[in-house]
């Protein structure tokens, strides 16, 4: 039933704020398998919001109101023109992600939502970034690349050895974990097809922790309170 529902229609829901305006949030799922990259061409501000024009190989295939993962952040397509698409991020999104660091020329990872009638090649990804991490070390390992990422210790319970994590929208496996650091290895294909190849020591990255881990942690937290 769930697969049928997902395959038939891309779902999005709305909630109403006190000012009467409707705001949407994504309930779609992604896999963390990056489809392509895009490049920021223009940035404009309106109040606390920022809008981004993105040029990519799939922009002309998109539809207005379609949701897309941008470096792991689920954003809605608002306009399509001349092979580019426009999205807008609100203050909450800007405060928790690397979007404030985007500038014209920035390359970002893109993934359209999962159609629920095929294989899940990565892991369940919502496009809801939990926090940002900092790249502290990059090392080439004879054809692959190893990254050490520092992250806030309050998320330590959400990482398990050989578990999944999403970095800039890319599904990766963590190892050598600690309460504030973890490592990931990137194979040549992923390295070439994503913006991970542009990362340098000191760069911030978007992190989304495993969805199942977040539910387990929440259940345990509620049990302790009760």
Task: Considering the chain, tell me which residue range(s) the CATH 2.40.30.20 domain(s) occupy.
Answer: 2-112, 131-225
Give 146's contacts (C-beta < 8 A, 6+ positions apart).
137, 138, 139, 140, 183, 184, 185, 186
Give the span between the Cα atoms of 76 and 52, in whole angstroms. 11
Q: Check residue 32 and give its pLDDT.
A: 87
Helices of type H across 9-149: 91-96
Least confident of 4-18, 84-98, 162-176: 4-18
* DSSP class per residue in 133-180: EEEEEEEEETTEEEEEEE--GGGGGG--TT-EEEETTEEEEEES--SS
pLDDT-derived band at 18, boundaries 50, 70, 90: very low
How far is 86 from 64, CA to CA, in rounded Å?
9
The answer to whether residue 178 scores a pLDDT higher than 70 is yes
Evaluate if residue 226 carries a pLDDT over 90: no
Class of domain 2-112: mainly beta
pLDDT (0 to 100) of residue 211: 77
**What is the C-alpha separation between 50 and 57, in angstroms, rounded?**
23
pLDDT of the residue at 195: 97
Which tops the pLDDT comparison, 76 or 7? 76
Greatest Cα pair distance, the chain, in angstroms, is: 56
Q: Of 25-34, 66-75, 189-198, give the lowest mean pLDDT range.
A: 25-34
Which of 29-43, 108-122, 151-165 is predicted least confidently?
108-122
What's residue 3's pLDDT? Answer: 32
User: According to the model, what pLDDT value does residue 187 have?
Assistant: 96
CATH of the domain spanning 131-225: 2.40.30.20
Q: What is the mean pLDDT of the chain?
A: 85
Rounded CA separation 29/157 (Å): 23
Calculate what percentage of the chain has a pLDDT beyond 90.
69
Q: Greater confidence, 3 or 137?
A: 137
């Amino acid at each position: 039933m769930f697969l049928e529902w997902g395959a038939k229609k891309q779902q999005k829901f709305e909630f109403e704020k006190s000012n009467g305006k409707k705001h949407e949030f994504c309930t779609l799922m992604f896999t963390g398998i990056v489809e392509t990259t895009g490049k920021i061409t223009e940035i404009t501000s309106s109040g606390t919001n920022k809008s981004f024009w993105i040029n990519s190989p799939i922009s002309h295939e998109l539809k207005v109101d379609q949701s897309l993962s941008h470096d792991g952040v689920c954003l809605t397509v608002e306009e399509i023109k001349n092979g580019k698409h426009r999205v807008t991020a609100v203050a909450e999104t800007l405060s928790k992600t690397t979007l404030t660091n985007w500038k014209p020329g920035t390359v970002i990872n893109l993934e359209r939502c999962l159609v629920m009638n095929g294989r899940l090649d990565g892991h369940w990804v919502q496009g809801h970034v939990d926090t940002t991490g900092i790249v502290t070390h990059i090392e080439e390992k004879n054809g692959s690349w190893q990254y050490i990422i520092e992250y806030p210790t309050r998320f330590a319970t959400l990482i398990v050895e050989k578990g999944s994590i999403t970095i800039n929208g890319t599904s990766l496996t963590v190892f050598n974990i600690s309460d504030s650091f973890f490592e990931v290895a990137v194979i040549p294909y992923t390295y070439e097809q994503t913006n991970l190849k542009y990362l340098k020591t000191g760069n911030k990255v978007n992190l989304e922790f495993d969805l199942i881990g977040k539910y387990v942690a929440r259940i345990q937290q509620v049990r302790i309170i009760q």
